[in-house]
Structure 1
């Protein structure tokens, strides 16, 4: 090899090494921050939906009666259950208290919406499902009341 070739190979390896280092930077993002971001993003969706329902309960009841057509449930009962699940689930996930239960509840809500209300919106529903599945599978993370409770339990035992 000539000196020029050695220089090109060395600088090429240096550049490749530098690029690899840059591409690996996101691996240093704390996983608990990723969990918090996912929780807050999906909780926001359902919190806003519940607030919309509560803002005009009469319109909500009409939607459940005439547009949503849920099987096996009285429309008023469905409206109450759906709104309660959205409110409760979004708070549980945002605060991180019984977050896995909240995620399971909202996965049920997403399933009902997908199957009976807006089946054409599967892309958006799949996004919600993915975030909820992440919370269900991995929990709320370090920035949560679930984590605080777990640490307190470990100290006692």
Structure 2
């Protein structure tokens, strides 16, 4: 601790703020995981509910090269359902977030409508989701995740 009165005052004033941030940070990561996960999971479940339309979308709208539309629809829908569940739960966190980030990137690139003036709002949504995923990838998915719970359980077991 410093003896400088100014720095002591700054420390006394800012300490509660940083303690609050320590509590809010895992909550923010959880909310970010839940929001992005919800968006992709909802989209995947919608594709599953309207499978004929989904296959047509992959055949005529989402031009995925080298893969037949039916296979691309299965892979895309599975990714949109499975990856968000892992992200929301915080299991395999950074890897799952990275895969969802790549999925989002491929989705944004392979849907030509997003690159038109009419599709700008949709492109901005993909950029926003990508930014949230990038932050989770860089800073981690937070203390409130299954990864952290498993680490804690394994450490406890190893120490006993």
Coarse TM-score class (shorter-chain normalised): 0.7 to 0.9
Distance in 1 of aligned mates of 2:29 and 2:84: 14
For the 8 Å contact 1:103–1:136, the answer to whether it is kept is yes
Kindly indicate whether the alpha-carbon contact (under 8 Å) linking 1:60 and 1:79 is maintained by their aligned counterparts in 2: yes
Asked whether the 8 Å contact 1:38–1:131 carries over to 2, the reply is yes
Distance in 1 (alpha carbons) for counterparts of 2:130 and 2:35: 12
In structure 2, the partner of 1:111 is 105
Matched, 1:38 2:32: yes
Q: Aligned pair count?
A: 137
Measured in 1, the distance between the counterparts of 2:22 and 2:63 equals: 47
Which has more radius of gyration?
1
Unaligned runs of 5+ in 1: 1-16
The answer for the alignment partner of 2:47 in structure 1 is: 53
Deviating 4+ runs (over 4 angstroms)? none
**1:73 pairs with 2:74:** no
Shift, 1:153, TM fit: 2.5
TM-score w.r.t. structure 1 length? Answer: 0.78
* Cα shift at 1:41: 0.6
Return 114-123 or 57-66, whichever deviates more.
Answer: 114-123
Aligned residue runs from structure 1 range 87-126, under 5 A = 87-117=81-111, 118-119=114-115, 120=120, 121-126=122-127
Q: What is the Cα deviation at residue 115 of structure 1?
A: 1.0
Could you say what the CA RMSD is over the residues aligned between the two structures, in angstroms?
Answer: 2.1
**Structure 2 unaligned residues grouped into runs of 5+:** 1-9
Q: 1:112 deviation in Å?
A: 1.1
Structure-2 separation of matches of 1:125 and 1:114 = 6
CA contact (8 A) 1:140 1:147 kept: no
C-alpha distance in 1 between matches for 2:140 and 2:153: 17
The aligned counterpart of 1:132 is: 133
Matches of 1:28 and 1:140, distance apart in 2 = 14
